Amino acid sequence: MNQFATATEKHIFNVPILPEETWMKLKNIFDTLDTFGNEKICVQAFFHKIKNNASSIGLLSTPAVEFPEINRIYSLEKVIFDLENKMEFEAKTDWETIKDIITHFTHIEEPTFDLICS
């Protein structure tokens, strides 16, 4: 990102639409990774398990967040993909933090080259 993009990028906030049933399935995946029972896991391992577990495949296509302002709905797969590219996942975190990260996912609309140069 160049110096001009930061000043003109726009944060677009979502409306969470992930169904409760999907949250319960995600919590079950979290619990399987919580091997020490301390309610903390590596976020990277959590996302990896969702993407690579045969029983999770259907979860990825589930609509997760809606952006009414730009008329878009992101699937859980898109949200995870974007989060993986934006965050560091080395630290361990708890379920509520993971849920919060997904629930408060924001779309950042970066300006195009034409917009920056005009």
Q: What is the pTM of this model?
A: 0.76
Answer left, alpha or beta for residue 83, where phi above 0 means left and psi between -120 and 50 means alpha: alpha
pLDDT at residue 9, rounded to an integer? 57
Question: φ and ψ at 94, to 5 degrees?
Answer: -95, 175
pLDDT at residue 58, rounded to an integer? 85
Under-50 pLDDT residues of the chain: 1-7, 112-118
**Sequence-distant (≥ 6) Cβ neighbours of residue 68 within 8 angstroms:** 15
pLDDT at residue 67, rounded to an integer? 86
pLDDT at residue 72, rounded to an integer? 87
Q: Judge whether 45 and 39 are in contact, CB under 8 Å.
A: no
pLDDT at residue 3, rounded to an integer? 40
Instruction: Tell me the C-alpha to C-alpha distance, in Å, between residue 104 and each of 19, 32, 67, 100, 117.
Output: 15, 24, 12, 6, 31
pLDDT at residue 92, rounded to an integer? 83
**How many whole angstroms separate alpha carbon 69 and alpha carbon 13?**
8
